[in-house]
Chain A
Amino acid sequence: MLSRRIEFVLSASVVLFGLFLWFVAVPHGIVTPSSMRSILLSPAFWPTILAIALTASGILLALAQMRRRSEDMGEDVEPFARSETMRLVGFVALAALYFEAISWIGMVWASVLAFALFVFLTGAPNKIIGLVAALVLPILLFAFFYHVAGVNIPQSDFLRLP
C-alpha cells in the first residue's frame, strides 16, 4: 500500500489511459475491414473490451482508496534522493546510448562501452575488476553466441572480431 495521494494519482492515470485507449488508440490504431461477419469478430472488439476493463479497474481502485481508513497507511515510497535521481537519469541515457551504439560500432564494443560506463555510473568499489569484466564478458558472449549457437551478432567495420 502506498500513500493515499499516490494511489489516487495512480487510479486517475489508469482511468485516463483507459479512456485514451478506448477513444483514441483503438479507433486510430486498428484497421477494421469494411465488411465483417459479426461484430464479435472485429479486430477492435477485444482491445475495446480491454480498454473498458482498464477504465473500470481504475475507477474501482479509486473507490477502494476512498473506503480505506485514513490511519490504515502502509509503507510509503522512499523519496528519491537527488543523487539517486541523477543516477537513474544517467542510466536511461546509458541505455539509449547503448542501443544506438549497437548500429555504430557493433554489439560487442557497444556492450564493452555500456558495461564500463555502468561501472563508473554506479561507482563500483573495485573499478579494475569492473573494467576487466566489461572487456572480457562481451567478447566471451560473442564467442559463444556467434561460434557455438550460430547467432549473427551484429558487428560493424570497427574492429571486426573473427
Chain B
Amino acid sequence: MTLKSLAVAFGLATTALSATPVLAQYPERPVQIVIPYGPGGATDLSARALASALSSHSSEPFVLVNRTGAGGATGSAAVANAQGDGYTVLAARVGSHTVNPAMKANLPYKLEDFRFVGVYEINPVVCAVAADSDIQSMDDLIAKAKQDPAAVRYSTSGVGSMLQIAAAMVLDSFGVENVKEVTHLPLAGDGEAALAVYQGTATFICTNSSPLASFVKNGQLRPILVTTSEPVEGFDAPTAASLGHEDLESLVGWTGIAGPDDMPDEAAEQWRSWLAEAVKDETFLKFMKQVGSQVDLMSPDESLEFVNNQYQTFSRLVDELGLRVE
C-alpha cells in the first residue's frame, strides 16, 4: 500500500513534467540517454539537469541510464554499438571521448563511431595543493617536480582519466622534463582524489572545479592554477594565460550529447533544437552555475571540431610523454 502511494506520487511528478505539446514525429517513444559514469558524478548530474530542462519540450520522456565501468568506456561502447535509430544517445564526456581514445589503443570504440549533436557545457580545470603545504604557487610545485620528480604525486581517478592528462599536460607545459617520473596515484574517483591531496597522500591534483569547490571554500585546498582564460569564481588562483601558458586553455572538461554514427538526421536536428531550448532554461543555468560549469552550446560542426582538436592535442601529448596504455 505504501508502494502504491509512492508510485502515485512519482507518477504525478513525472506527468506534471512531461505534459507538453507534440512536436515532430521523432520521438515516438522514450529516448534513452546513456551516462557512462556512476550516479552522483559530474556527468550524471549534468545529464540529469539537462534531461529535466528538456522534458518540457519533448512529448516523450527521457530515460537516464547509468552504464558505469572502465572510465566511461563501457557505456560509450554500448552506445557506439547501439541501433542508430536516435533513441539511444550518450552523455559524452571529456574522459570518455578525448582522453580515453588518446591514451588507449585497444578501446572498443573510436571517435568516428559517434555523431555529435552538441557540446553544451564546459568546465574549467583547476590545479590545487593542500592548504598546509609549503607549495604556494605553480613555480614552487614545478621547482619541486624538477628537483625530485618521484616524490611529487598527483592523484587521479584512474588511468585514462581527464585528471591524469591534466596533471601531465600542466607539468609538461611548465617545463618539467621527465613527466613520466612524477608519481601518478590512481584512486577510485575524483572525490577520493581530491581528498587524498587534503590528507597529504598526494601532492597536487588537477581536475574540474566542482569536486574541488567544497574543499577550497573550507580552506582545505589551495588552488594554484585555473586553465580558463577568465578567472573562476571562488578560486583565487592565476589563469594559465596570465602565467604565459595559453596552450593550457584547451585543457577543459566538457559534456555533450552524441548518438551512434548512423543516427538519423531527423533525430539529430531535433536534438539540436532541444539543446538550444535547454540552454535558455533558468533552472538549468542556475544549476550549472552552482557546480561551476559554463553553459555554452556548440553547433554539431563546432562540437566535432572542438572534440577533435582536444583529441589531437591529447594524442600528441601522450605520444611525447609515453603515456599510452599498452
Contact = CB atoms under 8 A, between A and B. Distances in A.
Q: In the complex, A touching B, CB below 8 Å?
A: yes
Interface of A: 31, 33-34, 143-144, 146-148, 150-152, 160
5 contacts: A33-B325, A147-B14, A150-B64, A152-B63, A160-B29
B15 to A, nearest CB: 10
Interface majority SS (helix, strand, loop, mixed), chain B: mixed
Interface string B54-92: 000000000111000000000000000000000000000
B32 interface: yes
Interface string B13-26: 01000000000000
A151 B10 CA distance: 14
A148 B6 CA distance: 8
Given A33-B326, A34-B326, A148 B64 contact: no
Nearest to A32: B326
Interface of B: 3, 6-7, 10-11, 14, 29-30, 32, 63-65, 325-326
A148 B65 contact: no
Contacts of A150: 63-64
B7 A144 contact: yes
A160 B30 CA distance: 12
A148 B8 CA distance: 9
Nearest to A33: B326
A146 B325 CA distance: 39
B326 A147 contact: no
A93 B30 CA distance: 33
A147 B63 contact: no
Given A143-B7, A144-B3, 12 more contacts: A31-B326, A33-B326, A34-B326, A144-B7, A147-B11, A148-B6, A148-B7, A148-B10, A150-B63, A150-B64, A152-B32, A152-B63
Contacts of A151: 65
Contacts of B14: 147
Nearest to A160: B29
B81 to A, nearest CB: 13
Nearest to A155: B29
B6 A152 contact: no
A136 to B, nearest CB: 15
Nearest to A140: B3
A148 B325 CA distance: 41
Given A33-B326, A34-B326, A147 B65 contact: no
Nearest to A146: B63
Contacts of B32: 152
A113 to B, nearest CB: 23
Contacts of A31: 326
B237 to A, nearest CB: 31
Nearest to B7: A148
Nearest to B66: A151
